[in-house]
């Protein structure tokens, strides 16, 4: 039963991969342009570029996106749990969040560049700022909607505030938190690309745009593949966390 | 003074900025080591009363004393909630362990106590399961185990067996009587079932509709007597209770 389930998963994923590569190949044939090479040459160029400076850019981009996700999560998760647990305080904070949430924070990029310089800090802060809101709102709502019987039953065992967070709020909100991280990852990658196309000479975003402007389409596509694979592996990482920490969801 | 002593208890809730009287002038006395049963119409404030005793609600008026202490001071109280209150993200073992962890009981002792209670409740095979993988009756056993493992003095149970089928319910009632006979436990239990009240309650408290108050207290001699189930005295007692409850609803 267990083995056949894993076997079935493998078949499904193999089929999906074949489908993606086939569509890519057909599209490349139809478009017939050096800007959109078929899978084989594209991957050949990717592995070739890895031996050059692509790996360096990849490392820098990975650092930027991980740093911002960690920064956003460490600030947003405790704040969200706290606001959800204390509705009286949330009453005053909620309108502030509501009014600032829809503002597209990317427009602050120039301001951050002036304030924090053109180094990594301004990029990390911008990505973190955007992802922070997503995690904060999701965590707060999950924390606010936790069933009261869980809270009461632990209180009746004599739990203090710290134990309530440890045993009820954090584990109870973790599925929602991981979902928001997954969504946040997509946003983070998009904003990362944007920040790396201005005033910098490092990162995959830069690598892609530089290759484009110098008409090195094979290198450009190698960068696109690198960016895609990075997003994919981070996604798997979050998925793994969910499987490990929320095993109770699918016992 | 009686072990559990409630005098002129009053609880009000704010609902849409209006104060709503839920418990009014509740008086209840239960001696140590006895089983008391509260029965009354839905929404009359039974759960609210238990919450006050379990120190989950400190906003009450009147006098509540458990063994001479306020609910806040009395640490030997255990509460089993209406819907069990098991944490879905902890397995059976960890759910039971939680209270011991909070009370900072040593590891070794924790282990022996949990193993003993798992065996007693007949759920040793389930210790690695999560609540979602348990039947209603199994969840109920885990909830009882989680309370008893703390070796409480006073056990509060909010409609513990209401969601069980008839056979499971009688089995759980028997287990409860057995535990009670082995320990010096004082039990206060809420039920909707007249038969359950008569079988378990040495003292039966009948509550009125909202705002709830105790309208009648019965001393019930046949409680815990297995042979009495179905006999004339048993049915008589049930009928008396039923007529009191009819008047209320
Ligand atoms: N936290 C609360 N805030 C406001 N009103 C409440 C609160 N808890 C309970 N009430 C109200 O108090 C009344 C009594 O509730 P309670 O849960 O004590 O009833 P009950 O006797 O246990 O009912 P049931 O038999 O259905 O479980 C109800 O009208 C309910 O709406
Ligand atoms: Mg109730």
- Quickly name the fold that domain B4-76+153-248 has: Rossmann fold (3.40.50)
Q: Which of B121-130, B159-168, B184-193 has the lowest mean pLDDT?
A: B159-168
Q: Residue B39: nearest ligand to its CA?
A: 1
Q: Which residue has the higher pLDDT, B228 or B213?
A: B213
Q: Which residue has the higher pLDDT, B223 or A100?
A: A100
CA distance B51 to B43: 14
Q: How far is CA B62 from CA A15, B9, B14, in A?
A: 70, 4, 18
CA distance B173 to B47: 20
Residue nearest to atom 17 of ligand 1 (CA): B47
Query: Tokens in use for B170?
Result: 């009688």
CA A38 to chain centre: 27
Q: Can you list the domains of chain A with their CATH numbers?
A: 41-249 (1.10.3720.10)
Q: Find the CB nearest A248 among B51, B85, B89.
A: B89
Q: Read off the pLDDT of residues B56-75 as tens digits, 9 standing for 90 and up.
A: 999 999 999 999 999 999 98
Q: How are strands ordered across the β-sheet holding B35-39?
A: B77-80, B154-158, B186-191, B35-39, B203-207, B214-219
* C-alpha of residue B190 to centroid of ligand 2, in Å: 8
Q: How confident is the model at residue A175 (pLDDT cuts 50, 70, 90)?
A: very high
B148 reaches A (C-beta below 8 A): no
Interchain proximity A156–B150, CB inside 8 Å:
no
Residue pair A155/A36 in contact (Cβ under 8 Å)? The answer is no
Query: Tokens in use for A228?
Result: 């895609």
Chain B residue nearest residue A157, CA to CA: B99
A173 reaches B (C-beta below 8 A): no
Q: Find the CB nearest A155 among B56, B82, B84.
A: B56
The pLDDT, as a whole number, for residue B12 is 92
Q: Mutate which of B9, B12, B46, B197 to test ligand 1's pocket (most atoms within 8 Å of Cβ)?
A: B46
CA distance A86 to A103: 26
A167 reaches B (C-beta below 8 A): yes
* C-alpha of residue A49 to centroid of ligand 1, in Å: 68
Interchain proximity A156–B88, CB inside 8 Å:
no
List of chain A residues whose C-beta atoms are within 8 Å of the C-beta of residue B130: 248, 251
| Percent residues over pLDDT 70 in chain A | 99
Query: Tokens in use for A81?
Result: 């749990």
Q: How confident is the model at residue A3 (pLDDT cuts 50, 70, 90)?
A: low
Res. B6: pLDDT tops 60: yes
CA distance B148 to B123: 14
The pLDDT, as a whole number, for residue A2 is 58
A88 reaches B (C-beta below 8 A): no
CA distance A51 to B56: 64
Q: Read off the pLDDT of residues B72-100 as tens digits, 9 standing for 90 and up.
A: 999 899 999 988 889 999 999 999 999 99
The stretch B95-119 carries a mean pLDDT of: 94
The SS3 of residue B117 is helix
Residue pair B220/B237 in contact (Cβ under 8 Å)? The answer is yes
List of chain B residues whose C-beta atoms are within 8 Å of the C-beta of residue A153: 79, 81, 84-87
Q: Residue B42: nearest ligand to its CA?
A: 1
Omega before A183 within 30 of 0, i.e. cis = no
HEC per residue, chain A: CHHHHHHHHHHHHHHHHHHHHHHHHHHHHHHCCCCCCCHHHHHHHHHHHHHCCHHHHHHHHHHHHHHHHHHHHHHHHHHHHHHHHCHHHHHHHHHHHHHHCCCCHHHHHHHHHHHHCCCHHHHHHHHHHHHHHHHHHHHHHHHHCCCHHHHHHHHHCCCCHHHHHHHHHHHHHHHHHHHHHHHHHHHHHHHHHHHCCCCCCCCHHHHHHHHHHCCCHHHHHHHHHHHHHHHHHHHHHHHHHHHHHCHHHCC
Mutation target among B58, B76, B89, B100 for the A interface, most CBs of A within 10 A: B89
Q: Find the CB nearest B81 among A149, A246, A251.
A: A149
Residue pair A106/A196 in contact (Cβ under 8 Å)? The answer is no
CA distance A218 to B207: 81
B76 reaches A (C-beta below 8 A): no
Average pLDDT, chain B: 91
* C-alpha of residue B170 to centroid of ligand 2, in Å: 21
| Dihedral pair phi/psi, residue B16, rounded to 5° | 50, 50
Q: Read off the pLDDT of residues B198-224 as tens digits, 9 standing for 90 and up.
A: 999 999 999 988 888 999 899 988 887
Q: Which pTM was predicted?
A: 0.88
User: So where are chain B's domains?
Assistant: 4-76+153-248, 87-151
CA A153 to chain centre: 35
CA distance A244 to A226: 27
DSSP code for B131:
G
The pLDDT, as a whole number, for residue B249 is 66
* C-alpha of residue B223 to centroid of ligand 1, in Å: 28
Q: How confident is the model at residue B228 (pLDDT cuts 50, 70, 90)?
A: confident
Q: Read off the pLDDT of residues A190-237 as tens digits, 9 standing for 90 and up.
A: 999 999 998 889 999 999 999 999 999 999 999 999 999 999 999 999
Q: Are strands B214-219 and B61-66 parallel, antiparallel or unpaired?
A: unpaired
Q: Read off the pLDDT of residues A34-91 as tens digits, 9 standing for 90 and up.
A: 889 999 999 999 999 999 899 999 999 999 999 999 999 999 999 999 999 999 999 9
Residues in contact with ligand 1 by the CB-under-6-Å rule are B 13, 15, 22, 42-48, 82, 210
């Amino acid at each position: 039963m267990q083995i056949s389930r894993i076997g079935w998963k493998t078949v499904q994923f193999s089929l999906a991969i074949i489908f993606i590569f086939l569509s890519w190949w057909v599209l490349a044939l139809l478009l017939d342009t050096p800007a959109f090479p078929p899978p084989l040459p594209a991957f050949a160029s990717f592995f070739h570029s890895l031996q050059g400076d692509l790996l360096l850019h990849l490392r820098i981009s990975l650092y930027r996106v991980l740093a911002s996700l960690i920064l956003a999560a460490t600030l947003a998760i405790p704040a969200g749990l706290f606001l959800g647990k204390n509705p009286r305080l949330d009453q005053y904070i909620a309108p502030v969040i509501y009014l600032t949430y829809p503002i597209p924070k990317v427009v602050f990029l120039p301001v951050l560049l002036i304030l924090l310089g053109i180094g990594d800090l301004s990029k990390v802060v911008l990505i973190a700022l955007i992802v922070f809101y997503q995690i904060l709102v999701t965590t707060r709502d999950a924390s606010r909607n936790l069933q009261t019987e869980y809270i009461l039953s632990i209180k009746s065992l004599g739990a203090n505030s710290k134990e309530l967070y440890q045993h009820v709020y954090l584990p109870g909100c973790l599925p929602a938190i991981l979902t928001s991280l997954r969504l946040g990852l997509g946003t983070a990658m998009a904003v990362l690309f944007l920040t790396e196309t201005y005033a910098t000479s490092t990162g995959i975003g830069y690598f892609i745009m530089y290759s484009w402007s110098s008409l090195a389409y094979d290198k450009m596509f190698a960068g696109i593949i690198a960016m895609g694979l990075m997003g994919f592996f981070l996604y798997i990482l979050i998925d793994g966390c969910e499987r490990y920490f929320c095993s109770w969801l699918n016992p | 003074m009686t072990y559990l002593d409630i005098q002129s208890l009053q609880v009000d809730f704010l609902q849409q900025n209006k104060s709503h009287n839920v418990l009014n002038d509740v008086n209840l006395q239960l001696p140590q080591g006895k089983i008391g049963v509260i029965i009354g119409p839905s929404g009359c404030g039974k759960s609210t009363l238990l919450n006050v005793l379990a120190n989950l609600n400190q906003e009450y008026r009147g006098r509540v004393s458990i063994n001479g202490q306020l609910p806040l001071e009395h640490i030997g109280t255990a509460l089993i909630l209406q819907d069990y209150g098991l944490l879905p993200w902890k397995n059976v073992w960890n759910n039971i362990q939680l209270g011991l962890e909070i009370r900072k009981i040593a590891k070794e002792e924790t282990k022996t106590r949990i193993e003993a209670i798992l065996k007693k409740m007949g759920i040793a095979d389930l210790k690695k399961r999560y609540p979602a993988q348990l039947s209603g009756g199994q969840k109920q056993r885990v909830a009882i185990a989680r309370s008893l493992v703390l070796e409480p003095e006073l056990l509060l149970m909010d409609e513990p067996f209401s969601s069980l089928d008839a056979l499971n319910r009688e089995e759980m009632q028997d287990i409860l009587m057995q535990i009670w006979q082995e320990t010096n436990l004082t039990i206060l239990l809420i039920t909707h079932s007249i038969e359950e009240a008569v079988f378990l309650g040495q003292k039966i408290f009948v509550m009125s509709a909202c705002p709830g108050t105790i309208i009648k207290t019965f001393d019930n001699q046949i409680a815990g007597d297995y042979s009495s189930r179905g006999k004339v005295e048993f049915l008589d007692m049930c009928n008396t209770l039923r007529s009191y409850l009819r008047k209320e609803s």
